[in-house]
Copies of this chain bind each other. A is one copy, B any other.
């Protein structure tokens, strides 16, 4: 893992593209034009630069979009000495990372994240992926590679265009890192509001927590699984919402925050997490994310959990907490127990059940 993560994005970018044959910039069309224009200006001094804009979002993580990118790369004449650059959030870099890692068996890759989630999570650690349409609906990130970006260029000004619900979604991933590390960082994070002004000073630290874990276990053979805290449930909820066109779409970090609330409840029962502390944390989290109109039935959630990439030998794996800063990634779910605990949880936090 030799990624550079830096707020001196302009200088680092210039150094990364020096001597390269061509720069291909995949940018989210939701962003202000000035963002990509500025970057193209920086790159054009030294290199032929091509810009492809697509509208970011979970719906682009498909083979069709991947093939579209391959064809664009071919049309502009990208070769092995070309650089693939992503400007946008996690869905842009998930799709772009897979394209960069498989085009001609891999070309240089740079991420310029424009979301909180991108800066603290998605851009770090080299995971990319697209979703698979299966017989049980859409499975998240089933197809992908581990591929490290050469550079993660951070410019906090790019966050100015971020919608408020995306900021809150970023807060959900930062919450995960804060619970994984505990200590003073968690205290600082608890005092922060879920808005940009409060979160920006914590972004680099939050990213460092992830980077530390990933560096010790790049291919997720052990410790890296910690980063799935809240994600077994989070991904299941996200997948269910994606499958159902009637449901209101849920943001990734909010789904993860719900996963964390459930995890805290279960951790009290199963790993002796301090009950009073769990209640206090849950109240704080739910005050921020709000009760939910609809949480899914246990059997629907279970079906999705069974398809989780982390599972091995048919066991549904999850991450639990003994205390903040002390997590266990070896937890295995029994269906019966999950069903009981989930239905209790649902009754508490689903508005229609309340």
Contacts and interface: CB of A to CB of B under 8 A. Distances in A.
Interface of A: 21, 63, 67, 70-71, 74-75, 77, 79-81, 98, 101-106, 127, 129, 132, 134-135, 139, 141-146, 219-220, 307, 309-314
Given A71-B134, A134-B71, A139-B74, A106 B145 contact: yes
A178 to B, nearest CB: 26
B127 A105 contact: yes
Question: Which of A75, A104, A106, A139 counts the most chain B CB atoms within 10 A?
Answer: A104
Given A63-B63, A102-B102, A135-B75, A70 B142 contact: yes
Contacts of A103: 142-143
A142 B74 contact: yes
Nearest to A128: B105
A9 to B, nearest CB: 25
Given A74-B132, A105-B129, A132-B70, A79 B309 contact: yes
Given A75-B134, A79-B314, A145-B145, 11 more contacts: A21-B313, A63-B63, A63-B67, A71-B132, A74-B134, A79-B313, A102-B102, A102-B144, A105-B129, A105-B309, A106-B219
Nearest to A221: B80
Given A71-B132, A144-B105, A81 B21 contact: no
19 contacts: A21-B312, A21-B314, A63-B63, A63-B67, A70-B142, A74-B139, A74-B142, A74-B307, A75-B134, A79-B311, A79-B314, A80-B309, A80-B310, A80-B311, A98-B102, A102-B102, A105-B141, A105-B146, A105-B309
Contacts of A139: 74
Contacts of A81: 312-313
Contacts of A220: 105
B102 A143 contact: yes
A98 B106 CA distance: 13
A220 B107 CA distance: 12
A50 to B, nearest CB: 14
A227 to B, nearest CB: 13
Nearest to A75: B135
Contacts of A21: 312-314
A146 B144 CA distance: 13
Nearest to A219: B106
A314 B81 CA distance: 10
A316 to B, nearest CB: 11
Nearest to A99: B143
A105 B74 contact: no
Nearest to A132: B70
